[in-house]
Structure 1
Amino acid sequence: MTTSHEELLPTTRRALTHRIAVAQAEGRAPSLVAAVVRGGRAVWHGARTSVDGNGPDAEVQYRIGSITKTFTAVLVLRLRDEGVLDLGDSLEKHLPGTGAGEATIAELLAHTAGLAAESPAPWWERTPGSLRPELSDVLGEKPPPHPAGRRHHYSNPGYTLLGALVAELRGAPWEQVLRDEVLEPLGLHRTTAQPEAPHAGGWAVHPWADALLPEPLEDLGRMAPAGQLWSTTGDLARFAAFLIQGDDRVLSAESVREMRTPAAPAEPADVVDGATYGLGLQIQHRDGRLLAGHSGSLPGFLANLTFSEVDDVAAVVLANCTSGPLISTVGADLVRIVAEAEPRIPEPWRPLREVDPTVLELAGPWYWGTHPFVLRVTADGLLTLGPLTGGGRRARFRPNGDGVWTGLEGYYAGELLEAVRRPDGTVSHLDLGSFVFTRQPYDADAPVPGGVDAEGWRGIAQP
């Protein structure tokens, strides 16, 4: 039997190797490295390279581009969790004078602030950051192209503003705050703002010839929080495990779950592709699987981090070329290969440690009108409510400690569930956000909205 803590099967490892070999060969990448994470640790590393005998290992740095944004988002969520800011705050409240201050912090995190995708010319990814010394140089003079909050429009300057916000509230440079609050606690010692040997060189591959051209390696300056970082498959594997499980030294499991919760309206094309954006994480449905993570690119480099929480599998893929391999597809494929070949084995069923009679009596069938639902009491101390059969609204509920329960997901997220009792203490009905659930369909003894016909249920009169 294979558990999440055992090594991958030889057939799985070969399938992973085959996938990155095809990607490197067909994508004509000078080198491509990858890692797979399961059960909180790296269980596979692979590399393909055009230089014989010089395969990169898990400690060779590549530039990771916009995966940097996920690190910046973690810093902002830390400030929120400490009570320093609220995601609904306007940027102006904490970082005045930017010209984009009406946008909220949540909108900046989700790329819904309406800002431009790029800073004014010349293109920031191939020019020195010294050309943009101030935030005004990053935002430019043109008004935002879209109204704030109305649509998802990916914005690199938006994450520059978030990095400046972190620096302002912490009183230290973004890079130092990142090092102290995220990289060191998680042990990401090979993730840096500047390249540190050993590191890959960035290359452009001629589209119509097997020839190479070196790409410039620029310090992005103010734009650093949007795409500056260098990292390794080893470090990003550890970061991926954190994004699945959380780490109370950095962010709780609840907060990283919030990061991968959709926070942006999808564009029409994204609806077809099943893609959206959370708070610093890209989210997509692929092959029937919900994936989260982030891609990245800068001239000379491609990067992708992808994970499936349900399968507890993550993949990291890095390449040192400007274009070629479809890195995001490769990452998703590596997750799929492991999840399908070695599906996650469920934890053993365990009963409740203690049984609360007042909670246990809520278990069983309930009716919303004529729709049968079942409420279950689970060993993790939660309630689950869902249709007896077929599809429909389902949710888990956590206890608030006062006989009221709060919904955790879906339609009932944040809604309150309460067992309403009669004067003698027996349960009359469940109230869920004004919906009345009764033990019998349209129970005449319960306060069903609109009342119940006094003559009760009947047949159709025959002529």
Structure 2
Amino acid sequence: MSEATESAAGYRDAELLPGTRRALTHRVATEQSQGRAPSVVGALVRDGRMVWSGSASMVEGHEPDADTQYRIGSITKSFVAVLVMRLAEEGLVGLTDPVGAHLTDLRVPEVTVGQLLAHTSGLASETPSPWWERTPGTVRPELADVLGADPVRHPAGRRFHYSNPGYALLGALVEAKRGLPWHEALREEVLEPLGMRRTTREPQAPAAGGFAVHPWADVMVPEAVQQTGRMAPAGELWSTAADLSRWAAFLAGGQDGVLPATAVERMRESAAPIDPTAPDNGYGLGLQLLRSGGRSLAGHTGSMPGFLAAIWVSVADGLGAVAFANSTSGSAIGGFAADLLAIAADAEPRFPTPWRPADRLDPALLELAGPWYWGTSAFALRVSADGELSLARIGQAGRQGTRFHVEQDGTWTGHDGYYGGETLRVVRREDGSVSHLDLGSFMFTREPYDETAPIPGGFQGWNQGLSAGE
């Protein structure tokens, strides 16, 4: 084994370096002190497992640990979204289905399942009064009570508008399809398979108490805990740093039997228009998206009276971070969790996967490698060891490259970038030689405006053009 390979293997297997651990512990202490929270907890996940956790408390010697429950608020939505995605994977619902096709007596039957997941349904942010987070669920026993008489604020599909009642509808959708309460479906289908036995609808000891800290004085009072009934899918769950570390690993890679990696990847993709006032923030299918410190993060933040929580994953870095505080406000919890992830990523950057040649490449694929021209613009097509293709512009700024994966019919589908979702086909001449590549009707040829290719609109040939000065 080479020295470089040993180093990479050591990174994956070893605990964090002492300097990294101290920096993380210092960040936790700073958050508790400056955020004026009774307690805070942080945890870091690397390559699928929790490698560090730390906490700070107002009472020395009574710090919580990774098994202490906190209420996680809207992180609950990511769990509900996975349940809905499971229904979609099974063909029981479609993301483009109107929710009214599955739930009756709604005032918004035309809103789609996907729009509810991505907060593009146009529904109101909150329920009618009184404030749902601070009143028992018996106040609004039916979905009609959650929506109110006039629940629409924007045309469906036009803009991102965060909607807590929208997730009440999704929880009801899960119950309608599974025939049992959403949280029981969650326990059976998701939590137990992932080993998340400390994630529950109601608190189970040891659990932190929630507090409101006065914004201008160093005093605090306990917050009441409400069971929110129909609104529970929007923010009811309690969890621990250890359990949410397992959730971070799942959000980064999926798990067979729960939700495959391809479906989780789809959840992490942007599904809502970007708010121009917050261009670094986005939303996928049940997951918040954040651009922070040059990194693309996916996860969710959450708050309920007395509690703040956040979880982020960076797939590129192989890292995830979890953060809790038991105060109603004061801590910028999303930034706190992002800082924990950045500390580890900057101090101990991930080793790249070693390059290895292919054991064997299909000669037909190897024939495609090299330069191609879209009109007069030069592109390079590369073939990886696993038979995947990538196409990127050569030597000038412009559209980013696109990766392609092979389909059963011999075509390739764009995985990302400008050509994401588009089909790449190889067009051959009668003698079997390659004429050109067809990519969403764009023609790529081996030479700029190759005279042997059927260029749309006609091409007279480079020697037929006007000479200089004419």
What's the TM-score, normalizing by structure 1? 0.98
Contact map agreement 2:428 2:434 (CA 8 A) in 1: yes
Q: Does 1:307 align with 2:310?
A: no
Equivalent of residue 32 in structure 2, options 24, 29, 35: 24
1:289 aligns with 2:295: yes
Q: Any residues of structure 2 matched to 1:4-403 within 5 Å, and which?
A: 4-271=12-279, 274-391=280-397, 392-403=399-410
Q: Could you tell me how far 1:401 is from its partner in structure 2?
A: 2.6
Larger mean Cα displacement after TM superposition, 352-361 or 170-179: 352-361
1:93 Cα deviation after fit: 0.6
State whether residues 303 and 318 of structure 1, in contact with CA within 8 Å, keep that contact through their aligned partners in structure 2: yes
Q: Shift of the alpha carbon at 1:458?
A: 5.5
Q: Secondary structure at the match of 1:12?
A: helix
* Residues 144 and 462 of structure 1: CA distance in aligned 2, closer, same or farther (over 3 Å): closer
The CA distance in 1 between the partners of 2:464 and 2:24, in whole Å, is 61
Query: Per-residue deviation at 1:135?
Result: 0.5
Moved over 4 A (4+): none
In the TM superposition, what is the alpha-carbon distance from 1:455 to its structure 2 partner? 5.4
Q: Which moves more between the two structures, 190-199 or 260-269? A: 260-269
Alignment counterpart, residue 408 of structure 1, candidates 402, 415, 424? 415
1:422 aligns with one of 426, 429, 446: 429
User: For 1:330, what is the secondary structure of its paired residue?
Assistant: helix
1:284 aligned counterpart, secondary structure = strand
**Displacement of 1:402:** 2.5
Letter of the aligned partner of 2:208 in structure 1? A
Q: Tell me the SS of whatever aligns to 2:368.
A: coil
Paired residues of 1:406 and 1:417 also in contact (CA < 8 A): yes
**Whole-Å separation in 1 of the counterparts to 2:433 and 2:13:** 47
Given residue 169 of structure 2, which amino acid in structure 1 is its aligned partner? L
User: Does the 8 A contact of 2:39 with 2:57 survive in 1?
Assistant: yes
Task: Provide closer, same or farther for how the CA distance between residues 393 and 459 of structure 1 changes in structure 2, counting only shifts above 3 A.
Answer: farther
State the Cα distance separating 1:381 from its structure 2 match. 2.2
Name the SS for the 1:224 alignment partner: helix
> 2-side partners of 1:76 and 1:103: how far apart?
15
Kept after mapping to 1: 8 A contact 2:361/2:387? no
1:443 to 443, 450, 455: 450
Secondary structure of 1:264 counterpart: coil
Q: Would you say the 8 A contact 2:411–2:424 is kept in 1?
A: yes
Q: What is the CA–CA distance in structure 2 between the aligned matches of 1:364 and 1:168, rounded to whole Å?
A: 53
Query: Partner letter of residue 418 of structure 1?
Result: R
Match of 1:381, SS state, is: coil
- Residues 365 and 387 in structure 2, CA contact (< 8 A), matched pair in contact too: no
Q: Which residue of 1 aligns with 2:3?
A: none
C-alpha separation between the residues in 2 aligned to 1:83 and 1:5?
39
**Alignment deviations for residues 220-239 of structure 1 (CA, whole Å, 9 cap, x no partner):** 11111110000000000000
Deviations along 1:310-346, one digit per CA (max 9) or x if unpaired, are: 1111100001000111111111111111111111101
CA distance in 2, matches of 1:66, 1:368: 46
The offset of 1:4, in angstroms, is 2.6
CA distance in 2, matches of 1:223, 1:167: 13
Give the 3 Å change call, closer, same or farther, for CA 58–15 of structure 1 in structure 2. same
Retained in 2: the 8 A contact 1:5–1:38?
no
CA shift, 1:394, in A, is 1.3
| Contact in 2 for aligned 1:5/1:39 (Cα 8 Å) | no
Residues 150-201 of structure 1 show CA distances to partners (whole Å, capped at 9, x for unaligned) of: 1100000000000000000011110110000010000000000000000000
Give 3-state SS (helix, strand or coil) of 1:66's partner.
helix
Contact 2:323-2:336 at 8 Å conserved across structures: yes
After superposition, the Cα gap between the structure-2 partners of 1:321 and 1:458, relative to the gap in structure 1 and judged at 3 Å, is same
Alignment root-mean-square deviation, CA: 1.2
Structure 2, unmatched stretches of 5+, are 1-6
Structure 2 Cα separation of the partners of residues 338 and 457 of structure 1? 60
Deviation at 1:349, TM superposition (A): 1.2
Contact 1:350 1:379 in 2 (8 A): yes
- Tell me the secondary structure at the aligned position of residue 409 of structure 2: coil
Percent sequence identity is 58
Match of 1:372, as an amino acid? A
1:3 aligns to what SS in structure 2?
helix
Tell me the distance in 2 between the aligned counterparts of 1:299 and 1:456.
75
